[in-house]
Amino acid sequence: MYDFLKDLNDQQLESIITTDVPLRIIAGAGSGKTRVITNKIAYLVEQEKINPYKILAVTFTNKAANEMKSRVQKILKNSLSVPYILTFHSFCVRVLREDYEFANLKKDFIIIDTSEQQKIIRKILKDLNLDDSKNKPERKILSRISNWKSSFTSWEEVIDNTFNSQEKSYAKVYRYYEDYLIDKNFVDFDDLLLKVHKMFKTNMNVRKKWIQRFDYILVDEFQDTNNVQFDLIKWLTDKRGCLTVVGDPDQTIYSWRGARVHIILNFEKEFERAKTVKLIKNYRSTQPILDLANNFIQNNKNREQKDIFTDKKEGDIVEVKECASKYFEAKFIAKKIKQLVEENNYKYSDFFVLYRMNAWSVEFEKEFSNSKIPYELVGGFEFRERKVIKDVTALLKAVAIQDDFSFERVFSFVPKVGTVTSEKLFNCAYENNINMFELLTKREDLTIMISKNLYEISNALREAHKKFLNNENVVDIANFLIKESGYKQKLDLKDKEGIDAIENIEAYFDQMKKFDDEYDKNQEQSNRLVKFLQEETLNINNENLMVVPNKVTLMTIHAAKGLENKVVFIVGLSSDVFPSRMSMFSKEGLEEERRAFYVAITRAQEKLFISYVMGEYSYIASGQLGPSRFIGELDPNLYSIEKNIFFHSATEMSSKKYDSGVVNQKPEKIDPGVKVGDIVEHFMFGDGVVSKILDKYIQIAFSNPAYGSKAIPINSNAWNKK
Please identify every residue annotated as catalytic.
Answer: 33-34, 220-221, 251, 603
8 A C-beta contact, residue 245 and residue 267: yes
Residue 630 and residue 434: Cα distance in Å, rounded? Answer: 61
8 A C-beta contact, residue 699 and residue 705: no
Neighbours of 387 (CB within 10 A): 14
Those residues whose C-beta lies under 8 Å from the C-beta of residue 127, and which sit 6 or more positions away, are 176
Neighbours of 678 (CB within 10 A): 16
CA torsion sign for 526, 529, 532, 537 is negative
Instruction: Let me know if 150 is exposed, middle or buried by CB neighbors in 10 A (0-12, 13-18, 19+).
Output: middle
Residue 437 and residue 457: Cα distance in Å, rounded? Answer: 10
Neighbours of 183 (CB within 10 A): 8
Residue 181 and residue 217: Cα distance in Å, rounded? Answer: 32
End-to-end CA distance of the chain: 77
**Single-letter code of the amino acid located at 603:** R
Residue 94 and residue 668: Cα distance in Å, rounded? Answer: 60
Residue ranges for the binding site for ATP?
Answer: 27-34
Which residues sit opposite 680 in a β-bridge? 688, 721
8 A C-beta contact, residue 679 and residue 687: yes
Cis (ω within 30 of 0) for the bond into 249?
Answer: no
HSE on the CB side for 536, CA within 13 Å? 24
Residue 420 and residue 606: Cα distance in Å, rounded? Answer: 61
Q: State the SS3 of 316-378.
A: CCEEEEEECCHHHHHHHHHHHHHHHHHHCCCCHHHEEEEECCHHHHHHHHHHHHHCCCCEEEC
Backbone angles phi, psi at 48, to 5 degrees: -85, -10
CA angle 110, 518, 393 (to 5 degrees): 40
Q: Which of 435, 411, 384, 544 is nearest to 486 (CA)?
A: 411
Residue ranges for the binding site?
Answer: 27-34
Those residues whose C-beta lies under 8 Å from the C-beta of residue 198, and which sit 6 or more positions away, are 103
Those residues whose C-beta lies under 8 Å from the C-beta of residue 216, and which sit 6 or more positions away, are 19, 44, 48, 50, 54, 55, 56, 242, 243, 244
Residue 429 and residue 440: Cα distance in Å, rounded? Answer: 9
DSSP labels, 89-142: HHHHHHHHHHHGGGGT--TT-EE--HHHHHHHHHHHHHHTT---TTT--HHHHH
